[in-house]
Amino acid sequence: MKTLSPLVFFLLLGQALPLQCQEKPAASPPVKIIQQVPAAESNSYEIFRSTVYRSYTAKIHPDASVQEKNASAAGSKTESRDLKCDVLVPAGKGPFPAVLMLHGGGWRSGTKLQIRGHAISVVQADFVVVAINYRHAPEFKWPAQLQDCHHALQWMTDNAEKYKIDPGRLATWGYSAGGHLASFLATTSNSDVGKKFPIRAAVCGGGPVDLTQLPEDFPFLGYFLGGSRRQFPKRYAMASPITHLTKNDPPLFLFHGRQDYLVPIQGVEDMKKKADDLGVRCELAMVESKGHILTFFDQHSIDLGVQFLKSIFSPSDLP
């Protein structure tokens, strides 16, 4: 198998993903913006402001992905960082199951806009989607990103009625670093913090789910974890979703490019095997002839993820 040097891995993982928001993704289900409104006033947990998109499948608004200015988070800061989210709400009465959606960028860059194409596909299937920004390394090292996800889940619960969210039916979805966070939230949903907002399913694309596979002296995740794996072996293990996988975890859907040389495929293969051994439902879709970036835009994989969520939240479970 071809491999990249640690330096190339670091540069591409941290810098290539933000370019996704400059490229046009594969065609996704049409969406029309009916209404755009600011989020509710802040409370003790509400560190996010949001822009709400109410959608249906008949038409498309071509400028839907550029409306971020109304999502500014005045007075809504954590450690001097504004954290924002976009909330996409299906047409209909609700309440709907909801998906916390997490962008990639090596935990050091990126925004919620990168994953808008995925979000539109999911909202078309009658899920509320909350796509968030989270704090970035190196200024904010792990577990700051996880803490922001927990705040977002709390925000979703606190604002459930306003945005037609059923807080008892929550899922996560992410790609690359976002896939790491999405799967981590799922495999720690039985922890003390996780029990507050139990995750019922997770979709992880191109996710580095096992950081212990990195070479011991691989230096370039120091910006995220504070040093090399040789220096902090337990920290790398505890930051890996696969470490926390137990028989009580929710179903997982993993998709990964067969030609992904940025995030080694062995991690998700090991995750699938461990899940099977534990009796946890875990589906793994390999995307042939595509690498890390192109798999992000693979509409078929996105559709498979949506089908997976619909199978968890069965028709009788949906509004």
Residue 281: per-residue pLDDT: 98
Are 116 and 163 in contact, with CB atoms under 8 Å apart? no
Judged against a pLDDT cut of 80, whether residue 30 lies above it is answered with no
Residue 315: per-residue pLDDT: 58
Judged against a pLDDT cut of 90, whether residue 1 lies above it is answered with no
What's the mean pLDDT in 135-141?
96
Domains of the chain from N-terminus onward? 6-21+30-62+78-312 (3.40.50.1820)
Q: Which two tokens stand for residue 260?
A: 């992904």
CA separation for the pair 46, 142 (Å, rounded)? 21
Tell me, what DSSP letter sits at residue 38? B
Q: What are the DSSP calls for 243-311, one per residue?
A: HH--TTPPPEEEEEETT--SS-THHHHHHHHHHHHHT--EEEEEETT--HHHHHT-HHHHHHHHHHHHH
Tokens 């009658």, residue located: 126
96-102/77-78 β-pairing: unpaired
Coil, helix or strand at residue 48: strand
Residue 194: per-residue pLDDT: 81
Coil, helix or strand at residue 66: helix
Write down the mean pLDDT value for the chain: 79
pLDDT > 70 in the chain, percent? 72
Tell me the residue type at 242.
I
Residue 192: per-residue pLDDT: 83
Task: Give the confidence band of 317 by pLDDT, cuts at 50, 70, 90.
Answer: low
Q: Higher pLDDT residue, 135 or 59?
A: 135
How many Å is the maximal CA-CA distance in the chain?
Answer: 55
